[in-house]
Amino acid sequence: MRVVAGEEMKAVDRYAIEEIGIDGRILMENAGRVAAKNIMKNFGRQKFCVLIGSGNNGGDGFVIAKVLQENGYHVSVCVIPERDKIKGDAEYHMNIYLNSGFSFTQYDQAPAESADIIVDTMLGTGIKGEIRSPYKEIFRELNKMDNTIISVDLPSGVPADESPVPEHALQADHTLIIGLPKLSYYT
């Protein structure tokens, strides 16, 4: 099996988008649908909270939240950044999510705390440098809770390469791979 670092995964996505011609929004729809299907198959009808960040990992989160709710799951959705910070493919899927009649709130500890399962789509392979606020504080809070955390692509805050894992990175119970396994799964 091929294992990649974040930059290599980006190159694979870039190749799919620029050379093969697959729209990045379709890649995101597929990634989110596969993740949602996996969640529904393995975790059943519990109370979910999907946490969404500002990048494309968050874009996967809008697709997952939409598919779970379309299938009748109990889901609260919390977005970390202000709505106008969400751009590109993630903004496209945020708009589809909202136009489908679903809603979200800004991040708050309460819905996360009351959920059985947290779906983490806050940060993926695009993380650079030290984990910044408000993410590091949110990860610290989440790491103290005892609900199950399912991270999409990577536990948020964990780099995709061999760099050391920061102290306050999210501690996931399960990680759903998007594309190919990342090098940091094995380090």
Residues that bind ligand NAX (CB under 6 A): 13, 24, 27-28, 31, 53-60, 89, 123-132, 135, 152-153, 178
| 178: partner contacted, choices ligand NAX, K ion, none (Cβ within 5-8 A by kind) | ligand NAX
State yes or no: 10 annotated in a binding site: no
State yes or no: 60 annotated in a binding site: yes
* Residue 179 one-letter amino acid: G
3-state per-residue secondary structure call for 80-124? CCCHHHCCHHHHHHHHHHHHCCCCCEECCHHHHHHCCEEEEECCC
| 29: partner contacted, choices K ion, ligand NAX, none (Cβ within 5-8 A by kind) | none
**CB nearer to K ion: pick between 76 and 125:** 125
Is the C-alpha dihedral spanning 58, 62, 63, 64 positive or negative?
positive
Binding-site ranges for K ion (CB under 5 A): 57, 120, 151-152, 156
Query: What is the CA 75 to chain-centroid distance, rounded?
Result: 15
State yes or no: 179 annotated in a binding site: no
**CB nearer to K ion: pick between 57 and 69:** 57
CB of 158 to ligand NAX, least distance (A): 11
CA pair distance 175, 150, nearest whole angstrom: 6
**CB nearer to ligand NAX: pick between 104 and 135:** 135
| 156: partner contacted, choices ligand NAX, K ion, none (Cβ within 5-8 A by kind) | K ion
CA pair distance 132, 168, nearest whole angstrom: 10
**Alpha-carbon dihedral angle through residues 69, 42, 158, 24, given to the nearest 10 degrees:** -50
State yes or no: 125 annotated in a binding site: yes
Look at residues 183, 175, 185, 143 and name the one whose alpha carbon lies nearest to residue 60. Answer: 175
Binding site per annotation, positions for (6S)-NADPHX: 56-60, 124-130, 135, 153
